[in-house]
Each structure stands twice: as C-alpha cells, then as structure tokens.
Amino acid sequence: MLMPLWTDMAFFILMLGGLYLGWRSSKREHLRRPWKRVFKDTVGVVSLTVLLVFILIGLLDSIRFQQVTNTQSSQQDVISLLDVVLTPMRTQVEKTYSAPFSHTAYAKEMGVDKEGVAKRIYPRLKYGAAHLNNPVTDKFADILKKLMAGTGFSLLVWLGLMFILWGFNKRSFKFVQSKGTKSFLFTLLGVLMIVGAIASLSPFYHVLGTDKVGEDVLYQAIKSIRTGLVIGSLTTIVMLPIAISLGLMAGFFRGWVDDIIQYLYTTLSSIPGVLLIAAAILMAQVYMANNPELFTTVEDRADMRLLLLCIILGITSWTGLCRLLRAETLKIREMDYVLAARALGVGPIKILKRHVLPNVMHLVMITIALDFSGLVLAEAVLSYINIGVDPSTYSWGNMINTSRLEMAREPIVWWSLLAAFSFMFVLVLAANLFADSVRDAFDPRSNT
C-alpha cells in the first residue's frame, strides 16, 4: 500500500510540472534555442546528468509503501523504494562508530583475544568485513577484487548500451560525434562505475563507516539527498508566484501599487531572515505539541516541519527576485510593442501575460537555478542553529550537526562530516555549473 507524505506529493507534482514545462518549451523556437545551447555545452550536459541522477534517487526515495513483514512486529515500517534498493546498507547496523572499511569497532570493549585471555580489545564488527577470516592480511586484496568486479560489471553494462545504440543508429557511431551526447555517455559511464563499486562493496563493508548508533553513514548520506532536493525545489515553488505577480504588478502599474509592494519588500528584507525562520519553526513546534492527534507518527511530524521550512524560506526569499522583476518591467512597459498593445485596447492583465512575462522569463530561470544551490547550503546552517529540519529527518545538516559534537574525540570521527560535505558539494557544484550554463544560454547579452 502506498503511503505518500505531503512533501512526496509536492515533489512529484513539481517534477510533472517540470516535465510539462519542458514539453511546452520544446515547441517554441525562442525557448528551444537556448536549451539547445545548454545541451551542446560539455559542462552543462555533465552537470545536468549528475543532477538527474540525484533527482532519480530523490524520486525513488519519495515512493513510500508499507512493508509487508512476516514477523509480528507491533509497528509496521513505511519504507521507500530506495530503502528496498539499499537493503544491505539499511539493515546491517553495528553497535557504534566504526571507520570506513574497518573490520573492528571504534572503541575498545571487554573481550577474549586469540590466546583466550580476557582483556580490552577492539571487537570485530557484526557485518563489516565479517566474511573474512583474517581481515588484517586479506582485506586490501578483497576490497580491490570487489572494486574491480563492480566497476567491471558497470563497464560491461555500458558497453552493452553502446552496442544497442550502435544498432539503432544503423550501425554507425555518428551519434557519438555530437559533443552533448558524448559528454552524456561518458558521465553515465562514471556514474555507473560508482554505483557498481558501491553495490559490490556495501553488502560486505561499511564504505563510509558507521555513526554513533551504528547506522551506515553512506546510507544516511544517500537518504539525505531527498531532503536537500525538496528544500531546494519546493521553496522555489512557494517563492515564484509571489515574486512574479508582485514584481510585475509593481513595475507595470506604478503609483500606489508600486509604493505598497516596495514597502512590503523593504520591510520584509530588512528583518533578519533567521529571526523569521526561528519564529515560524517555534510556532510550528508549539502547534504540534498542542495538537498531537493530528500527527500520528514521527515521520508525519518531521515531514510537516520540512514542508513548513520550505514555505517559510519561500516567504523570506522572494524579495530579491521581486526587486529584479520590478526593475525589468519598468523598462519593458516603455517598449513600443507594449504601447502598441495598449493602443489596440489590450487589457493590462493580458499585456502582462503575453508581452511582459515572456520577456522576463530568463531572469526567473537564472534565479531558480542560482537559488537552488544557496538553499541546499542554507539547510545545513539552519540545522546547526536547530531551526532547520526535524532532528529525525535524514539531512546533511543534521549529519554535520551531530558529528560536530564528536570532533573532540581522539582519534577524530571524520567520516560523517566527510560524507555529508562531499555529497552536498557534488550536488551544489552540479547545480552551480548547470546554473552557469543556463545563464550563458538565456542571457540575451551573451548571445554572440
């Protein structure tokens, strides 16, 4: 049985909306041309491919259903499709910290060593490298073997794909000659190899170690992808209608409408955003504490908080785009074609829709792309001041926040930080590079 959460549905609707917009713009020449430029740009294609992989993981993680278990447990787990794929990582839980690829736990415990003497030793892990009898000597060779097997298999799959493409293209490699396709195929090969390596290693090792309660860090990092994507994308959807409608109205109608809207965004942007977010999150917590019957599970509550965080971030972040659109509309409304439309008796709403909005869409496009990466990074900072997502939600901010407290330990527990920061880095870098490529393609000034 499917058990979607609010953010799941919103995320899916958003993706469908994105597909619809893509289909619409593929039919219009003036929108198709800049996108063609993006698809010809190596950096654009590579970053888009990486982003699509992230989105695919996020979508898999958004399909939730009730797990059918044979055991008569009191609570039924709701898991996502991604959880099914990651079953070995999800279920192989150790006792506490362990380093990446380690076969022993992080802390010493009372145990019996080889001679049968009771003393404090590093106990073997329950799952990590458990298939090896003599891990100290065999581990390196075993890891190498599994790595080769995983990447080798991926290479075979990729070659198979190439063979099929070769067949479809009348037995020629012409399709590889296009720069975009070539970059796409090679990025795909890279992604497949990483996936293959992880798939072959993770049933036997904790590739990025385990955290305080023994959960696989790689699993946490992968699960956090959905949170990052939801915050980056849903916030934009909340912000866009406000920014576009108010920005266009202020610039087009001038007079008292302009005054009121300018007053609104000056006031809102002069209040520190942190305060608004903190107040809203506190408010939500009070509301949830008073109405516990509305939120039956921890997941429901965490999901509501995530949704609320997106809405609040959206409300605080529309001012920049609004200001930009107002200035642009001020310029456009003096153009001859707007004057002509007005002289022919076209109503203001119709002028805004047909003549002004299409001409500011490139600004909207660029802002969406740039804001996304900023929001993913902001989530980590907000979680640090405890006004971000719910502590039970998987998110990179929460991973950083919990492992920050462990920095004083000797030796340092670094793998959680590394995992969270590198996943965040890859997603944000891809988004930034893609935004750059989109901006180059859509900015009319760079059309050379």
Partner 1 sequence: MINYIIRRLLYVIPVLIGVNVLTFILFFVVNSPDDMARMQLGDKHVTQASIDNWKQQRGYDLPLLWNEESAGLSKASNTIFFTKSVGLFVFDLGISDNGRDIASDIGQRMWPSLAIAIPSLIIGVLVNITFSLLLIFYRGSFLEFAGVFFCIALMSISGLFYIIVGQLFVGKMLSLTPISGYVPGLDAIKFIILPVLIGVVSGLGSGVRWYRSLFLEESAKDYVRTAKAKGLSDLQVLFKHVLKNAMIPILTGIVVILPLLFMGSLITESFFGIPGLGSYTIDAITSQDFAIVRSMVFLGSFLYIIGLLLTDISYTLVDPRVRLD
Q: Which residue has the tokens 């080798």?
A: 152
Q: How far is the CB of 387 from partner 1 (least distance, A)?
A: 9
Instruction: Tell me the two tokens of residue 247.
Output: 């920005």
Collapse the DSSP code of 80 into the 3-class scheme (helix H, G, I; strand E, B; otherwise coil) and give the result.
Answer: strand
- Residues from 283 through 302 that contact partner 1 (CB under 8 A): 283, 286
Signed CA dihedral, 135, 136, 138, 143: sign only: positive
Between CA 45 and CA 287 the distance in angstroms is 45
Q: Which residue has the tokens 């012409």?
A: 174
The region of 79-87, 137-145, 265-273, 294-302 touching partner 1 under the rule CB under 8 A is 265-273
The region of 145-153, 211-219, 234-242, 282-290 touching partner 1 under the rule CB under 8 A is 282-290
With contact defined as beta carbons under 8 Å apart, do 59 and 229 qualify?
A: no
Query: Is residue 269 a contact residue for partner 1 (CB under 8 A)?
Result: yes
- The nearer residue to partner 1, 148 or 381, going by C-beta atoms, is 381
- The nearer residue to partner 1, 10 or 242, going by C-beta atoms, is 242
Q: What are phi and psi of 443, to 5 degrees?
A: -70, 120
With contact defined as beta carbons under 8 Å apart, do 244 and 235 qualify?
A: no
Q: Which residue has the tokens 């009121």?
A: 260
Amino acid at 368: I
Q: How far is the CB of 275 from partner 1 (least distance, A)?
A: 6
Query: Is residue 448 a contact residue for partner 1 (CB under 8 A)?
Result: no
Q: How far is the CB of 194 from partner 1 (least distance, A)?
A: 19
Query: Is residue 272 a contact residue for partner 1 (CB under 8 A)?
Result: yes
Q: How far is the CB of 441 from partner 1 (least distance, A)?
A: 16
| Number of other CB atoms surrounding residue 402 within 10 Å | 17
- Residues from 3 through 32 that contact partner 1 (CB under 8 A): none
Binding mask 73-112 for partner 1 (x = CB under 8 A): ----------------------------------------
Angle at 338 between CA 333 and CA 342, to 5 degrees: 115
- The nearer residue to partner 1, 340 or 429, going by C-beta atoms, is 429
Instruction: Tell me the two tokens of residue 314.
Output: 């959206």
- Residues from 382 through 441 that contact partner 1 (CB under 8 A): 384-385, 400, 404, 407, 412, 417, 421, 424-425, 428-429, 431-433, 436
- The nearer residue to partner 1, 78 or 268, going by C-beta atoms, is 268
- The nearer residue to partner 1, 96 or 266, going by C-beta atoms, is 266
Quick one: which of 86, 280, 321, 364 contacts partner 1 (CB under 8 A)?
Answer: 280
Q: How far is the CB of 410 from partner 1 (least distance, A)?
A: 10
- The nearer residue to partner 1, 213 or 412, going by C-beta atoms, is 412
Between CA 352 and CA 366 the distance in angstroms is 20
Burial of 435 (0-12, 13-18, 19+ CB in 10 A): buried
With contact defined as beta carbons under 8 Å apart, do 219 and 86 qualify?
A: yes
Query: Is residue 260 a contact residue for partner 1 (CB under 8 A)?
Result: no
Q: What are phi and psi of 2, to 5 degrees?
A: -75, 140
Quick one: which of 49, 92, 151, 373 contacts partner 1 (CB under 8 A)?
Answer: 373
With contact defined as beta carbons under 8 Å apart, do 52 and 62 qualify?
A: no
Instruction: Tell me the two tokens of residue 417.
Output: 């930080």
Query: Is residue 447 a contact residue for partner 1 (CB under 8 A)?
Result: no
What's the CA dihedral at 10, 15, 17, 18 to 10 degrees? Answer: 140
Q: Which residues bind partner 1 (CB under 8 A)?
A: 263, 266-272, 274-276, 278-280, 282-283, 286, 373, 377, 380-381, 384-385, 400, 404, 407, 412, 417, 421, 424-425, 428-429, 431-433, 436
